[in-house]
């Protein structure tokens, strides 16, 4: 049996080839047959430049149908796909290139010049630009090739993708996600959320992220559902597209903006059967305001880069605000504290085991071992409690990670740069509440010269050379000294207690 994820998806949608797969408003509608053919053209290109099963590519492109075709071609060929956030700076990108040594780097056209320089420096043999236009030169070249309909033989344990995540040390880790991880999660979500070929999914998420690339796309493709494919979340376009949709997946920010949108009324959402939220905590305030406005109870779920989706509130049954529901089929969860597995309603670190859990971090065997228990549970680092019925409620993170608008922000990465700036003696980055993004980073700083503080604009200008925009602190607070314990470790808990009530927005 071929456990190649593309083979599994194709087996499910091959009898619906004439159905619309991707509908790009204002552009064309792509049938399932069209998408299958598009991916076969990309396969021809990849194999033509010598790529084979197990080779790696990096894609840092804007959202487009062509980018989906490239991803699916990698699945078909057994090539390992690594998507990167389009906000990453070239210095951030260099680390990822050095880490996985891709055979091909695909970027947006406007970044090609700097990517060529970087790839030459790091001896990456192939680099191309892929834009979003239907007349994009690379796409036009691809469409002139002969189709290659290969479906590489893959086992469940073969790596399909490497997605980078980080710990509080700031060192990025490449999580190896297998064909089996992805297929098991897709089947579980299709069943749990009741997806069928009659559904139309509104997709306004980025596709460099687990949520948009794996959760949304795989669930819909496996169901032969129609996907309204928006390049980004634009409130007017979302309002218009909701009229023709039955399911929407989004981050909490999407829903808070819809609540505030005056034109968001019953005529727009009356055909929606399900609103799903993830990637960041959904506040009870947003849940209840959305319920009051629409009558819909947003379905919140919980997952990670390393695990895909772990739990979900039910499709049929009570959706409780502030909770992330029950473990998906074949997935086990538990809470542990002080090396003791906890009883219901006791708070501890959540651990998970199942076919969804990644196989390890790329070239980091010791780190992989650290993150798993002796009996094979992955230690998530998230704090939570599981009640008698199995419902999970999360209450925080064991590390310092900040989730801003659905993106992970790791304070250490920012602090390392701040501490190199003349005028800053030391720094600590924490999260503060934000009306739109849930939380955002703020920097607590100690000055070299309290009588001559450097400006926020000057700090921002230096950070922007190395960090994506969403990682830049939204506020800088100067204090005389950072709180430390007897071991000299900064007590961020004290800082959060004092400053995380700051409301940004």
Instruction: Summarize pLDDT for 395-420 with one digit per residue, the tens.
Output: 767 677 788 888 878 788 898 899 88
Q: Is the dihedral of CA 62, 68, 74, 77 positive or negative?
A: negative
The residue with greater pLDDT, 481 or 81, is 81
Contact 125, 103 (CB under 8 A): yes
Which residue(s) pair with 248 in the sheet?
202, 275
pLDDT score at 498: 87
422 pLDDT more than 50: yes
Residue 444, pLDDT above cutoff 50: yes
- Arithmetic mean of pLDDT, 60-69: 98
Q: How far, in Å, CA of 297 to CA of 313, rounded?
A: 10
SS3 212: helix
Work out the pLDDT band at 372, boundaries 50, 70, 90. very high
Q: What is the pTM of this model?
A: 0.86
Report for 158-172, 282-296, 321-335: range of highest mean pLDDT: 321-335
Above 80 in pLDDT, residue 272? Answer: yes
Evaluate if residue 260 carries a pLDDT over 70.
yes
Tell whether the model's pLDDT for residue 357 goes beyond 90. Answer: yes
- Contact assessment for residue 152 and residue 160, using Cβ atoms and an 8 Å cutoff: no
| pLDDT of 285 strictly over 90 | no
At 397 the three-state DSSP class reads strand
pLDDT band at 166; cut points 50, 70, 90: low
Cβ-contact 432, 475 below 8 angstroms: yes
| 408 vs 51 pLDDT, higher one | 51
Residue 496 — very low, low, confident or very high, per pLDDT cuts 50/70/90?
confident
Contact between 333 and 352 under an 8 Å Cβ cutoff? The reply is yes
* Secondary structure tally for the chain: helices H, strands E: 16, 27
pLDDT at 489: 66
* Residue 131 CB partners (closer than 8 Å, separation 6+): 61, 62, 64, 108, 109, 137, 138, 139
pLDDT of residue 411: 83
pLDDT tens digits, 97-108: 999 999 999 999
Residue 302 confidence (pLDDT): 96
Residue 237: CB atoms within 10 A of its CB come to 17
The CA-based angle 204-205-210, given to 5 degrees, is 155
Could you tell me if 162 and 176 are in contact, meaning their C-beta atoms sit under 8 angstroms apart?
yes
Q: What are 223-247's pLDDT values in tens digits?
A: 999 999 999 999 999 999 999 999 9
- C-alpha distances in angstroms, 292 versus 97, 255, 265, 287, 312? 47, 13, 12, 9, 22
Q: Which domains does the chain have, with CATH numbers?
A: 5-294 (3.40.50.12780), 402-504 (3.30.300.30)
Mean pLDDT across the chain: 93
Does the pLDDT value for residue 487 go beyond 70?
no
> What pLDDT sits at residue 485?
62
Q: Tell me which of 62-66, 91-95, 158-162, 387-391 is least confident.
A: 91-95
């Amino acid at each position: 049996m071929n456990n190649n994820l593309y083979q599994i998806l194709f087996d499910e949608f091959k009898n619906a080839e004439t159905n619309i797969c991707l509908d790009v408003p204002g552009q064309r509608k792509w049938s399932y047959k069209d998408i299958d053919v598009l991916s076969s053209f990309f396969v021809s290109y990849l194999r033509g430049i010598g790529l084979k099963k197990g080779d790696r590519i990096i894609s840092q492109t804007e959202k487009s149908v062509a980018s989906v075709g490239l991803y699916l071609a990698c699945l078909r060929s057994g090539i390992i796909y690594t998507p990167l956030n389009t906000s990453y700076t070239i210095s951030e990108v260099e680390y990822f290139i050095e880490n996985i040594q891709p055979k091909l780097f695909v970027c947006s056209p406007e970044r090609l010049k700097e990517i060529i320089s970087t790839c030459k420096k790091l001896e990456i043999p192939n680099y191309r630009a892929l834009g979003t236009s239907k007349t994009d030169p690379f796409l036009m070249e691809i469409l002139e090739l002969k189709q290659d309909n290969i479906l590489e033989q893959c086992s469940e344990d073969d790596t399909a993708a490497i997605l980078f995540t980080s710990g509080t040390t700031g060192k990025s880790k490449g999580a190896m996600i297998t064909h089996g991880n992805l297929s098991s999660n897709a089947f579980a979500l299709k069943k749990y959320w009741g997806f069928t070929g009659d559904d139309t999914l509104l997709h306004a998420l980025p596709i460099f992220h687990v949520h948009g690339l794996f959760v949304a796309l795989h669930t819909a493709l496996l169901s032969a559902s129609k996907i309204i494919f928006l390049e980004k979340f634009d409130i007017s376009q979302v309002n218009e597209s909701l009229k023709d949709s039955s399911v929407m997946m989004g981050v909490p920010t999407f829903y808070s903006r819809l609540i505030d949108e005056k034109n968001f009324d019953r005529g727009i959402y009356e055909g929606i059967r399900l609103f799903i939220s993830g990637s960041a905590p959904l506040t009870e305030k947003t849940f209840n305001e959305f319920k009051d406005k629409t009558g819909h109870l947003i379905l919140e779920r919980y997952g990670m880069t390393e695990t895909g989706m772990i739990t979900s509130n039910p499709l049929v049954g009570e959706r409780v605000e502030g909770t992330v529901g029950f473990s998906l089929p074949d997935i086990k969860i538990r809470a542990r504290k002080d090396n003791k597995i906890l009883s219901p309603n006791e708070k501890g670190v959540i651990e998970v085991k199942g076919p969804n859990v990644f196989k390890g971090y790329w070239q980091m065997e010791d780190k992989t071992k650290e993150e798993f228990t002796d009996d094979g549970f992955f230690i998530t680092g998230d704090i939570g409690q599981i009640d008698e019925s199995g419902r999970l409620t999360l209450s925080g993170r064991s590390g310092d990670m900040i989730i801003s608008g659905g993106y992970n922000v790791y304070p250490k990465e920012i602090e390392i740069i701040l501490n190199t700036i003349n005028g800053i003696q030391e720094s600590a980055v924490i999260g503060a509440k934000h009306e739109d993004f849930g939380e955002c980073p703020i920097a607590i700083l100690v000055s070299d010269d309290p009588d001559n503080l450097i400006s926020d604009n000057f700090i921002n200008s230096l950070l922007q050379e190395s960090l994506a925009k969403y990682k830049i602190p939204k506020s800088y607070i100067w204090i005389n000294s950072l709180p430390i314990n007897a071991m000299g470790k900064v007590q961020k808990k004290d800082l959060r207690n004092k400053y995380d009530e700051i409301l940004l927005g």
